[in-house]
Amino acid sequence: MVALGIALILGAIGIFVLAFILRQRSGLPWVRVVSQDVSEARTLARPLYSARLGLTGKPDYVLQRGSDLIPVEVKPNRYAQQPYRSDLMQLAAYLVLIEETTGTAPPYGLLRYAEATFRLPYTAAVRAEVLTTLSEMHDLLRATDVARDHEDAARCRKCGFRDQCEDALS
């Protein structure tokens, strides 16, 4: 009976150590997960939404550190020394959405690649870039004639607008 108790205690310690090591490797802080949009355990009931900005999004995770909410975007198959600009803009949009929906600006967001975690501080410049990009996107959506912005025939072949596009390369 004593041996069983010792085995259970050692097993529990082993599981705790393994969980700690895995959490350290994840590159994410040891804080409460408020919501997640990965695997079957999706806990974010609905996307973050700002009618004023015409913006909707669901971060992979929202962490809570004190009273701060921190969006996390995970790209598990990305291997890069520096984050891609498009990934940073996606994370920046989540920062804006959290501020818009809660009234409190998050201090930063986290972008997790396969082997690295990048931290994006939420600054006035980051917010301005998101708002400028959104404005440009809304202008393009309202435009009746939008020029092709690349020279990649393979990209044209996969495009959903290929049949209507006068500039298609293939």
Q: For residue 44, is pLDDT > 70?
A: no
Question: In this predicted model, what pLDDT tens digit does every residue of 2-18 receive, in sequence order?
Answer: 777 787 777 777 776 66
CA distances 84 to 59, 76, 113, Å, are 17, 13, 10
Domain boundaries, the chain: 32-142
Answer whether 62's CB lies under 8 Å from 101's CB: no
The pTM of the full predicted model, rounded to 2 decimals, is 0.73
Confidence of residue 23 (pLDDT cuts 50, 70, 90): low
Task: Give the total residue count for the chain.
Answer: 170
CB-CB contact of 32 with 63 (8 Å): yes
Q: What is the pLDDT of residues 102-143, one digit of tens each?
A: 999 999 999 999 989 999 999 999 999 999 999 998 988 888
Burial class (CB in 10 A: 0-12, 13-18, 19+), 105: middle
